Amino acid sequence: EKSPCHGDAAGAKDGSAFRLVKEYQRSAAGRGSVPAQDLRPPAVLLSTVRYLFIRVLARSDVPRWEVYQFVSSRCRAVLQDLIIQGLPCPASIPILEAVVRFHLLMAYELCEEPPENFNPRLNAERIQNCFADLLPLYKKAPLSSRCQDVEPAVVAAAVDGGVSVHTDGLCAECRCELEAAVLIQSEDSFAGLSRAFLLPSSVRSSQSVRCAVQLAHAIQDGNFVRFVRVSRLASPLLLCALHPSLLLLRRNALRTLNSAYASRNAVFPLRVLVQWLAADSQSQVELWCRDMGIAVSDGSVLFNKSSAAPASASVRAPQKAQLLISSALPP
């Protein structure tokens, strides 16, 4: 059955606008090897990725989650063809860069979708798999030769209400931004910072990596105010990479403030807390406080150590951060 994502939005009647893109098929016992004529060479795979991100991802007549599922399946098929051909080589870099950017950006755009439409865990797993293949290739391909010899990468850029795609031949900048995203998404901030200091000097001194290092230090120190200030300098992609851990960071900040400002008599202005946490509204912060057992009354927060919820308390489903992230995305 043909997906509604096949073909261009214009819908040419003669079928010339339709492109049937190979979907992902899981390996199964008893299935023979893929015939050589069914494997697409790197140049064709890159053209496929460009078509998916420039034509299909721009569709506005199909729900975004359905576009995501279609493109994600075809990207898996692209990577599958690379693996079967044993092609983790410099020619794979622009393809892997484009696919990992797609998953990072869609992780933010679809974060409020129900689980049946978007699985954040599966999306995060695909991000990590792409990075696992991409980072070793970065070590083998010097920045200077990549910029001269490798075709321009497809670069996805998040926009409010959708994702647009353009091409960018500055491969060195692509690497710097993705190295920064790896650092931000590292579960062990110390290990991430240690790895950052081992990067080539041209990458380590880039604005993206320097911004990511400052953000990692702010997270380590538990300084959320500094974290918010530095995040204003981050690229849209880096902001999307930050998003999955943003709610947990805010909860940790609230826990720290609850210990620092706990008092039986004094209250803390809610409007100040909204500014410090870069929240979208006072009602949003009230919800976070109540989730943690912190009372809010008449525009004031009543910090109290004895009533705060334990650190193991469940975390709400992620929501878009309009002020901190959405407002920074390109129009």
pLDDT of residue 40: 81
> Strand pairing partners for 147?
none
Check residue 320 and report its DSSP letter: -
Structure tokens at 278: 């870069």
In this prediction, the residues of the chain whose per-residue pLDDT falls under 50 are: 1, 9-16, 29-30, 144-170
pLDDT (0 to 100) of residue 305: 80
pLDDT of amino acid 262: 87
What's at 253, amino acid-wise? A
What pLDDT sits at residue 155? 38
pTM (2 decimals)?
A: 0.82
With tokens 């063809």, the residue in question is 81
Whole-number pLDDT of residue 101: 93
Long-range contact list for 171-174, CB < 8 A, 24+ apart?
Answer: 171/93, 171/94, 171/143, 171/146, 171/147, 172/143, 172/146, 172/147, 172/202, 172/203, 173/206, 173/208, 174/94, 174/97
**Looking at residue 149, what is its pLDDT?**
34
Q: What is the pLDDT of residue 118?
A: 95
For 5-59, the pLDDT digits (tens) are 655 544 444 444 556 666 666 665 445 566 666 788 888 888 889 989 888 888 8
